[in-house]
Amino acid sequence: MTKADIVNEISKATGIEKITVQKTVECFMECVKTSLVKNNNVYLRGFGSFVVKKRAEKTARNISKNTAIIIPEHYIPSFKPAKTFVNKVKNNVKK
């Protein structure tokens, strides 16, 4: 499902114009990104959490040159789904 598909679904379900829904969805995503950049986690009860995770410094190997490089400590965005969301997916996804 793409962002356009999400906009279409919300527009159909609510009767709100697609352009308004698109602006709202884009504003939501921008708010989440801005919060994470400022190291503030975003919690959506029943859905999940957008959190910033710290990755420790580590040594990696470049096999083709047979050299070691140091990857410095850094932060990455991450999504952790809520337990109720995980359980719904586990019980309803067709295999």
Q: Is the pLDDT of residue 5 over 90?
A: yes
The domain segmentation of the chain, as residue ranges, is 1-40, 42-95
User: What is the tens place of the pLDDT at every residue in 76-85?
Assistant: 999 999 999 9
User: What is the tens place of the pLDDT at every residue in 53-93?
Assistant: 999 999 999 888 889 999 999 999 999 999 999 999 998 87
What are the strands, taking DSSP E only, across the chain? 42-44, 48-55, 58-62, 67-71, 74-81
87, exposed or middle or buried, with CB in 10 Å at 0-12, 13-18, 19+?
exposed
CATH code for 42-95? 4.10.520.10
Nearest CA among 46, 52, 42, 49 for reference residue 74:
52
Local confidence band at 38 (pLDDT 50, 70, 90 cut-offs)? very high
pLDDT score at 2: 95
Q: Are 18 and 8 in contact (CB under 8 A)?
A: yes
48, exposed or middle or buried, with CB in 10 Å at 0-12, 13-18, 19+?
middle
37, exposed or middle or buried, with CB in 10 Å at 0-12, 13-18, 19+?
exposed
Q: Is the pLDDT of residue 95 over 70?
A: no
Mean pLDDT of the residues in the chain: 94
